[in-house]
Every structure is written in C-alpha cells, then in structure tokens.
Amino acid sequence: MNICPSERAALVSRVKAFPGRHVVLLGDLVADEFVYGEIARVSREAPVLILKQREKQIVPGGGANAANNLADLGARVTPVGAVGDDEAGEALLRCFRQKEISTRSIMRARGYQTPTKSRILGGLTHWQRQQIVRVDREPAQPLGAELRRKLSQRAANLLSDAAALLVSDYGYGAAGPKETAFLRSSAGRKPLPITLDSRYSLLSYAKVTAATPNEPEIEEAFGRKIGNNLDLLYALGRLTMRRLSLQALVVTRGRDGMVLFEPRQKPRHIPIFGSDQVADVTGAGDTVIATFTLALAAGASFYQAAQLANIAGGLVVMKRGTATVAGRELEEAIRNA
C-alpha cells in the first residue's frame, strides 16, 4: 500500500486528533481466553496429545475488543454492555479498569454467562504454539428485553458528550436494530456518526452512517458466493448501501484489502497494508471498526477513515492473539508507508 506525501500528512493529522475523542460503544462484550500448554505425551486413553498447562490469559473480545482498541488509539471510550457474575466477566472488568476505561455503564447480570471463546494452544518447549481447538461458552439465552432497554437508555444518556457511536452486534442481545434506532432518534439533530459491526443481522439495520462487514458476512446475508466475482461484490455492496441507507460501506476482504462504497461513486479498492503472510486474524474486524469509527469522530472523510482502518488492520494481524494497535504505531506506519 503506497501513500503519497500529501495523503500521508493528512492521515497523520487525523491520528493526532484521536486523543480525547469520546466514543460510546453499545455491544456484546466477549471474553477471549487463551490457554497455553506444552506437549507432554500422547494419551493412553485416546490418540490425542496431553498438554501441561503453563499459562491462561483472558482478554477483551468482540465489542470489548473494539473498546480496547479505541482506548489504545487514544479515544475516551465508554463501553455499554453486560457481563455475567463469573470469572470471565470479572476479568473483562479488571482489564478495563487497568486501562482506565470506564465500567460504569457495564451491567453485571446475575446468572448470565459472559460469552467466552477459549482457544487451546500447544507446542513443544521453545517452539511456536499453535491453536489446537476452540471451545465457545455462550449464554443459554440472549439478554432479556428489560436489560436491553436499560443498556440502551444508558447509552442514550451518554450521546450528548459523544463524537461517535459504535454498535457491535455479535448476536448475544446487547445491541440490535431496535436499540440502534432508539439511539439514532435520541441523538436528535446532532451529526453523530453511527457505525455498525453486525455478525449475523446486517440487513436488519437501517439508517446508520456506515458499516464494516467482511466479505463472508456479505455472502451470508445474501446467500451468494462472491469469490473473485468483483461485479457481484459491487452489486451486493450497492444493494447493502440502499437497504441500510448507508453513507458508506467498507467490505474487508482479507489479503485482498478492502473496498469502500459511497453513494454515486465508483467502489474504491484499498490494497492490504504490509505482508499478506498474517500471524493471526483474531479480532482484526474489531480493530478495523474501532479505527474507522474514531477516524470519523476526528473529522476524517470516509476514504481517510477506511485507509486508517486498513493500516490498523494490517498491523494487528501481524500480532498473535487478540491484539490492539496504539496510536503511535499507526502514526509510525503511516510515515513509513
């Protein structure tokens, strides 16, 4: 990805405007658990490896990862969501407090299972550890209507001081089309960018500012396989724009970078930043929408925001595990691009 000097200066100025911008995030707070072990031997009970556990780490995932990325980019982020009264929920709150991220708008729901994605990684001593299996622990039921209403009201009370609203919908109930419509009306005439990351319900939303789905999510929404068919990608992208009444749509395509759609403009391809030999794609979409949202909050155009999100995404996939990108990293990458 090449950036001309004038674009580079403009992008750097946007990153310098990140610190202190207040972003409200309404979404599903997920815990990403990593269990690291060393291969000891093959089990006598079954042809499987026995790992000696050496380390366990719980870090923010899902909407919590987007909030974590916003904080590391310099934003003042207020996450609004729910966690359970369990180990994973306490770990998320502890992570936020350590980074001085406000937890006042996070509700602890008794009997609720904090969505937790446990990745088991193993390897020989001094070798790089590889993921062996992932175990997901999810709540038996989505959050109830009354709790969702309370979360939406908490988010609405924060909008007067916000520069942007990010909706992170992983399907666990904290955020949905109804809640987003309520927040849009609560913002009134304030020109508040509302960005959307919806794993399963993209086409159920309407009149948000922008969305950042990946290509498989577009394919699933329409039941069509895109592959290398750019004409189909363009058609589905424009259809998504119309269905959601978007001002911008960013479709991420892995090693093929991303495509930006805007009304009455040709789709703009943004090539991948850095190497296409990635280390780990875990949570990359959260980094993309966090950067894109914060850039809009800092006054960037949609194209500038997409460029910055693309660079941040390229940086984070070179890190292992659920990772974030700091503002200084982003600025340095732009200067060296």
Please tell me the distance from the alpha carbon of residue 283 to that of residue 299, in angstroms, as a whole number.
Answer: 25
Secondary structure of the chain as H, E, C letters: CCCCHHHHHHHHHHHHCCCCCEEEEEECEEEEEEEEEEEEEECCCCCCEEEEEEEEEEEEEEHHHHHHHHHHCCCEEEEEEEEECCHHHHHHHHHHHHCCCCCCCEEEECCCCCCEEEEEEEECCCCCCEEEEEEEECCCCCCCHHHHHHHHHHHHHHHHHCCEEEEEECCCCCCCHHHHHHHHHHHCCCCCCEEEEECCCHHHCCCCCEECCEHHHHHHHHCCCCCCCHHHHHHHHHHHHHHHCCCEEEEECHHHCEEEECCCCCCEEECCCCCCCCCCCCCHHHHHHHHHHHHHHCCCCHHHHHHHHHHHHHHHCCCCCCCCCCHHHHHHHHHHC
Candidates 32, 72, 169, 286; catalytic one: 286
286 annotated active-site: yes
Residues involved in catalysis: 286
